[in-house]
Amino acid sequence: MNIIMADYYEQQDLADFANIGEYAPTLGEKYFAYYGEAMQDGVLTAREKSLIALAVATTQKCPYCIDAYTNQCLSLGVAPEEMMEAVHVGAAMTAGVVLAHSTQMRKIIKKKEM
Amino acid sequence: MNGQGKHPPFAERAAGPVLATGIEIFQINLGYRCNLECRHCHVAAGPERRELMSRKLMERCLDILRAHPISTIDITGGAPELHPHFPWFLEECAALGRRLLVRTNGVVLLEEGYGSFLDLYTRLRVEVVVSLPHVDPRITDRQRGEGVHARLIDALRKLNARGYGQPGSGLVLNLVHNPGGAYLPGLQGSLEARYRQVLRDKYGIGFNNLFCITNMPIGRYLAFLKRSGNYEDYMDALVRAFNPLALANVMCRTTLSVGWDGRLYDCDFNQMLGLTVNHGAPEHIERFDGKMLATRRVVTGNHCYGCTAGAGSSCQGEVAC
């Protein structure tokens, strides 16, 4: 199992992200142009965007993104407490999303009950 | 992936020699004595260091500056203020009418007997560059010593009170950021906006520009990288972020660094590594040759990846904006 898992999520694969345009270079270029523009200072600062990205990275459980955006947040002077609060926003949202889906469950229960 | 030899040699990546294009900045290191012992200090300065530039060499520096139209005089250390001949030297430099800047640790200006430098800097209209690694006191104190952040805030307020960093005064106060760990600095514009906001809102402090400097993998910082198991990752990050545009603008192309003992270097970092200028250029100020030095080939090594990563890094901050 360990041998199989070693082929996934290798830290050095983060560096390969620059090559995701392989086999579809035009789409890759468009993606990177979009990505770059979405992440730069705009109405929101690059700092604020990095915190959003970190929350998304943890909720989506992407180790590459967690690595990249923890470093990016540090680089932009974000304090550990700010990062952890952002993660809690993601956690709270995720919990809310799960609980909101109980609506479906509760509706079914009520419909089925005699 | 592991092993020190895995990173491509800088010279290979640079694809050709790095050549100087002139001497625009004459950076003089007056010595390694300092009242602080910061963890990121690339020259390993501290209270125990005894290296100080002799008066004779200071005079030689002035002679060279008089004879050559070098536009910027950049004085650094250690803490330049701890050099006994510094006030005289600064007056002489100011009389040359060039852009004159002093890199101060800031807190020395609060020490007994050194407060007069605030007035001297103001009178001579010296550009003051102060290291403030972070607006978070914990990070600054971790790098520079317990209580340093609070003292720096005090020093910056005193500089502001004399007009430094205030609109319209013409008195320039620049700050220096460097990362407080094994990661690269963020974009200078973003960090500057953050510094401006926090320093204004929390302390009522103003400044002109923020220079973001990448920590070089040398000296105390290198020791930290190795001790903490971050060396390989840090070098990987530097190599990955290699930017040809930053290489085109690296400071060594226009800077000459003079060590406390008169030896000449392409930069302050080579000074720390003991790599004097080479490739035929004279390695000591006593044999100064403006023409040869202005077109010299720069001595490079893998630490140079530090200046070419991302938006680049120099004593004036980013180089590839």
Contacts of B173 (CB under 8 A, 6+ apart): B128, B130, B156, B159, B160, B164, B165, B206, B207, B208
Q: pLDDT at position B2, please?
A: 37
Q: Which two structure tokens, joined as six digits, stand for B247?
A: 């290489």
Element of type H or E holding B80: none
pLDDT greater than 70 at residue A2: no
With beta carbons less than 8 A apart as the criterion, state whether B257 and B268 touch: yes
Q: Which residue of B has its CA nearest to A79?
A: B136
With beta carbons less than 8 A apart as the criterion, state whether B314 and B257 touch: no
ipTM exceeding the 0.85 mark: no
- Min mean pLDDT across A8-12, A53-57, B228-232 is at A8-12
pLDDT greater than 50 at residue A1: no
What residues in chain B have per-residue pLDDT under 70?
1-5, 321
Q: pLDDT at position B3, please?
A: 39
| B98 Cα to chain A: minimum distance (Å) | 34
Q: Which residue of A has its CA nearest to B193?
A: A45
Say whether A74 and B181 touch across the interface (CB within 8 A): yes
pLDDT greater than 90 at residue A42: yes
| B184 Cα to chain A: minimum distance (Å) | 6
| A85 Cα to chain B: minimum distance (Å) | 17
Higher pLDDT, B265 or A17: B265
**Helix and strand totals (H; E) in chain B:** 13, 8
Please list every residue in chain A whose beta carbon sits closer than 8 Å to the beta carbon of residue B185.
75
Query: What does the alpha-carbon distance between residue A34 and residue B118 come to, in Å, rounded to a whole number?
Result: 48
Query: What does the alpha-carbon distance between residue B238 and residue B183 come to, in Å, rounded to a whole number?
Result: 9
What is the pTM for the complete model shown? 0.88
Give the strand pairing for B264-265 and B255-258: antiparallel
Query: What does the alpha-carbon distance between residue B94 and residue B73 come to, in Å, rounded to a whole number?
Result: 9
Say whether A77 and B135 touch across the interface (CB within 8 A): yes
Q: pLDDT at position B305, please?
A: 95
Q: pLDDT at position B62, please?
A: 98
Q: Which two structure tokens, joined as six digits, stand for B278?
A: 């080479």
For tokens 């007069």, what's the residue? B116
Q: Which residue of B has its CA nearest to A13?
A: B1
